[in-house]
Structure 1
Amino acid sequence: MARGGRGQNGARRSAPRNQRRVRDGDVIAELARAVREVEAAVERGRVTPAVRTKFQAVGLLVREEHARIKADAAMGDARRSEQLRRLDGVATILAKTAVRDTGLLAFLSDDAVVSDAARSLTREMLRTAGVEPTPEAPTPAEPVAAPAVPERRVVPQSVVSRQLANPFLAPDFDAVRQTTVRPRRLAGWELLGPLLSSFERAGAGASACMALPAPSSLRAPGGRELMPHQAQLVAAVASGHRTFLLADEPGLGKTAQALLAAEAANAYPLLVVVPNVVKTNWAREAGLWTPHRAATVIHGDGNTIDGFADIVVVNYEVLDRHVGWIGDFGFRGMVVDEAHFIKNKTSQRSQHVLELSERIRARTGRPLLMALTGTPLINDIEDFRAIWQFLGWIDEAMPIGELMEALEQSGLTPADPGFYPAARACVIDRGVVRRRKVDVAADIPARRVADLPVELDGPTGRSIRAAERDLARRMVARYETALANRSSDLVEGIDHALVRRVARAELKDAATSTTGENVFSMVRRIGQAKAPLAADYAAQLARSAGKVVFFAKHIDVMDAAEETFAKQGIRFSSIRGDQTSTARQRNIDAFVKDPDVAIAVCSLTAAGVGLNLQVASNIVLAELSWTDAEQTQAIDRSHRIGQAEPVTAWRIIAAQTIDARIAELIDSKAGLAARALDGSDEEIASSTDVQHEALVALLTDALSASP
């Protein structure tokens, strides 16, 4: 149900009622101390059960304290703003710590099971901070103790029932190819680096797509009609191909292709690993494209799943607790959606995905393995490694299986001039499929990104520009100190290598500090300042051009926009990361189906993937992403199959601030995927992140302006 102002799904949580303040304690200070302890433990690689408990307790208290501060009518605006800023600092450390060990992400989800130890620790932390929690009602003791299981590992009862119903089910070991390709000509050569480099060289303008057969039919089993490019991939599966990096541009129907590929390969049961925000949508799509196949979704500990279903959908965030039984379940196919999520091979979710892929390949002859992503390269060509390993094309050190065999048959080594195009072709033939909208779906109208510079006037604008000058002066001082301490290797003019080191040091400080102005807090302040201007423009679009999708990164920017829409009497839906799957889908449906719901207010991270919002042809990007890929994903929620009008994304950019520089850097990154996959001659931008490059530019400009 859509909301105007603060409706059912978007109502702010009320302040927690199970605590009362007995003295002027500081809960946030206690949270900051605790989160630093968790961060240090994760950095040391000592993530014990006690550390996990503390992480969950901090997450619970951050939410409660945020709700209490928001609801405290006696608190002044200045005090509330200061407390929320401090609390956001704790939340930032919490999120960055979870990125280091993604097994912790599950504790932040709505359906996370809160342990008794975590509840006890929250009460202890409140008392330490000067807050006395109201005693909770005792919970009845369990009549029978639960059997011991490995940490955070569960086995749903319906899975046990399936295993009992099939007691003689054995792995298909006989069908597994036992051949091992021993390098001959290529023995002793390092090959992974040259293989990755072969994609940077772009193959003389050739696009990265394997040869696909002509489709035999454009009809799906459920009677729905396929587009020719979708039917081509299904035909390739029907002819025997089993591994795919499906990198079609967003909006070309990768979900349908994966489901129908599983049908063509009879790859059931099928495991589908997805981001949390799209797992409900996957179940819906399965009902549309393969209605005769039962699909089930794992939530939390999986108590509600159907162990006898053909399609099992699980999100990355809870994969850690299910990886044990999943590996032994007998899956004959595995699909990884938004596969760029596994690009960091040191993350826990990447390791779980790779482990499951290896176990499935060991048990099943020629399983169907599909990596789906419209943006396989976020920052660097190295992002390919984890995806290729998931598909079984490489291991940690070298190409394996059919890829190694193909490289040997090429008769070339990395010392030969023709090796790179030949190697690139060998990889592509293993199953790289990349189609562009302009080539295979000409009926999808064009899209464009239009920048709308806005002036930040008044005290807020002056404060932001002053903060930017202070940041530049701080980096200049650090640069000059480093330069003064040098005794040799002086360079004429600006030392750009030193500039980059100073910017890197500043970025490191910004990532670990919760006080003072830095690039992250500055960008957030700019987003807050732009919020009412962006909302006003979205409201104008909605009145004149129809439905609008409004994207923002931060909750407070979404809140400010929604308040603007409510005051102007504009109905809207809110799509956020802290909603349940049911609430999120209800708001999506309201925007798509209700003609009176004019605007969808979306979280850039929570709603930027997996949603179909093609009822709107205008998008407002109120805040900038740090990557072109994230921005593209957001735009392609509307620019996809089913869109009838040209799509315009309106980027709101704060003129004369670092915001404008960030927009330029984001655009410079756009050439990476184009060159590696689409055969573009455009140069690949540096893989260094946009935050670093923005600081480099800020410091360089400041040094250039110095007398």
Structure 2
Amino acid sequence: MKVSPSQPFQIIYTLFEHQYLGYLFESFVIQLDSEGRLTFSHQNISAKNAKEFDNGLDKNDYELIKIMDSMQPDIVAKKYDKKKMKPDEFFLKCFDDQTGDEHAQQEIKNYVERRRAQIMPLMHGKRLFEMGNDGEPAWKEIEVLNDKATVLFHFRRNEENTHYFPTIKHQEEKVDFQYKGAYILCNDPAYIVIEKKLYSFEKNVDANKLKPFLNKKFIAIPRKIEDNYYHKFVAPLVASFDVYAKGFDIKTETTELKPLLYFSELASNGQSMDLFNSNGKHTTIVEDSKILFELKFNYGDHNYSADQIKDVSVHVEKEEDHYTFHRIKRNLEKEKKFVSFLNETGLPLKHARSTMDTAKAFSWIQSTKKLLEDSGIVLKQNGKGEKKYFLGKSEMTVEIKENIDWFDIHAIIKFGDFEIPFHIIRNYILKKKHEIELPNGEIAVIPEEWFTQYAELMAFSNEGEEESLQLQKHHISLVKDLNESNLAHLQLSRKLERLRDFDTIGDYDMPKGFKGELRPYQRAGFNWMRFLNEYRLGGCLADDMGLGKTVQTLALLQSVHQDNDNGTSLLVMPTSLIYNWEKESEKFTPQLKMLNYTGVKRNKDIKQFAKYDLVVTSYGLIRQDIDLLAEFHFNYIILDESQVIKNPESNISKCVRDLNSSFKLILTGTPIENTTMDLWSQMTFLNPGLLGGKTFFKNQFQLPIEKKNDEEKTKKLYTIIKPFLLRRHKSQVATDLPEKIENIRYCTMSEAQEEAYEKVKSAYRDKIMHEIEAGGIGKSQFMILQGLTKLRQIANHPFLADDEYTGDSGKLEDISHMLQNAINKNHKILVFSQFVKHLKIVSKYLDDNKIKYSYLDGSTKDRQKEVENFQSDKQIKVFLISLKAGGLGLNLTEAEYVFLLDPWWNPAIEAQAIDRAHRIGQKNKVFTYRFITKNTVEEKILQLQQNKQKLADDLITTEESFVKTLTKDDISGLLD
């Protein structure tokens, strides 16, 4: 019988028992009479028709209806029945006592039980009924009690057994539930119906602990199994619930928490090394081993693993015939703080454990030992292994004296009170042996930083007199590097004293071989880099995007390479930038010999580097070839987009720190992207030790600055880094900039993109050249235009030409990076493309990253609204515009950047697009970037335009007219 939603009605919930699924629920609406009483007019309600009764439903009702729908027998059968049988047939077969699928049975029961557990908390404040045998939904009403009941578990031990039973209380009144026809609606947490009342419980009682007593007074545990029962069943109950006991004791204890950090060696292969020849003593040293750290919490006589998280832990003690249950109350909040503290110090714990290479582990111990002691964490070696590790102080003091033709190097190495000869440590470092046995039998782990900071010193030096080492003077850069290391911190500080108060830097002569002129602010950047070069210090050029970091750097390289043989400099950058550097070097420093060290067929003989002034490679190849590249000593190592190494623990950061050079320079528009630790990582690459160790920097600068806004710490950090970081914003140098700065951004295709491009290019080349041979260019123009358009689309993103394409795009990666870079600097960007589908791809990236933007193509109805939003809303940084819809008639003076995603046949159209931002009223300089995919028709169109200047002069306005001017050789070149 239908219920009218326009007349008074009531939503109710009815439970019924299914033969296989247990208790299920249905939702109904029932018409009310004039007195507000339920009538016999009722109607089932589901998610499909719930909206009809919206005025009588609340948020919980909608959620209940949805959950109840999902547990109906037909829905459950459909979910688990792969053969599509009728629900009754499926359940009969699935739950057959002889042939049923027990795994499927359990899956189904778990599925239904999870939904019951979701329903029960939402039932408070609702009307619940038992369904009658005739399907009447409002047969017997069940009162849903809001106040939770409590359970007390009773144990009575006597000479024969232990009686166990629970009692229930609600509002301080005992609830008699045994032999009352009570039944369980939900197991975990427990919900039970007792005499038409629905009870829930505090402390999330499991109904399985109550179910045996619905029709039983107590359970008796015989003496012969009580010990096992007490440990496995009673102890967890004592820990989690209220327990009353006779015949044994329960003691609650509160003791002090003591964190214990155990470490032990994980087994590895061993090698024999002769250490103390004078004693004839041979030792077995295990190399490349790992250290296992385990965090435990001590409470009195008991230790708990840090991953055993319990408010209360219970221990069972038996003395003669008497049992005592000790309830240990734990301080979980304090335990969590210790775990977090260790994570912050560089010891990530998983299941209370962490493993590290032995050298790294002891470097961590050395760097954090004082912090551990101050925090109250006790460090202990675990077990009785063959080794006992030395945990004292390790130090190396190096003294370098200038001789006539070389440097004499003297060093004192101490592990606690033991002094080890320099030449022995040198042999260990050269052979990459990390562990050394001390005279007292303890094993000392040579600090990892000694291997990184002194590896070159050891490798290039020779044994001299009186256990000293000799270093030839042509290795002076190694001596300078030591001055910039943590172990030579005071020497580096004296350098800073001389640099601290500099105000101006003198002018340096521009190198003769440099082809071009630097603007005043660029000349200042060149002078600054030459200044740092004299002091053999590294610097970070962090100018805003578009201010010419590349040309300033090339001027520096021309200066240091023009007169003398100063070795080879290494330029490291994202793959997409390599072509830009090659082009810029050809233009501004044509005399410098550059080697492109990329590609799978690259010559890996590093000796060839000496024949070149510059070697350009990618971050990816640094990771792959680090073992080779680390063997070559470069003049400069220059990292472009150096924010790549912002994470000091990343593989690439570690790799670039392994590279060797006399000078270092980094280029980035974003020296700090996330935290000041980004700055630490990059500055540590440039000038090791400048900002101290990682833990020191975190405590002294990062936390005070980021968490407490400590201005003094901020000023101090700025004072330290000031000589080594040069950053100019467009606003600072606006008077030095032209009205428009135009750039070409060369992009590299991804592997999948290149495969798609080559496939289409080959197919169209054969077709087009065949048609030209057969009928001439005039009859082939449609095919030419079709082929070139498809190749241009793939050069942007293959998805433009193939909806089935699921790979990536090199150009999209570059666009995304530069968009994010400009947005991070609070700039506004116009993004133009003649392909609307390309704009849609970019818009998806913006949506995925929750970046607000305006959008305009031919289908946009309110153009002016989109323009006004972009101009006035500071949150909108990007405006996506199609060429045809937005190439003319828009005034977008808030934009400072214009991105042209694909090259147009007519350069005049590009100029018109740029003029959307660069027009009267624009107060900021406009930076334009044309995105050109390397080795594609895009690049070749650009070359063709340059070679055929007449085309641009004639202002070709259509793609067809452009095609008409092409010769057979032009077309062949485009498709090569």
TM-score, normalised on structure 1? Answer: 0.36
Greater RCO, CA 8 A, separation 6+: 1
The structure with the largest alpha-carbon Rg is: 2
Higher strand share: 2
TM-score, normalised on structure 2? Answer: 0.27
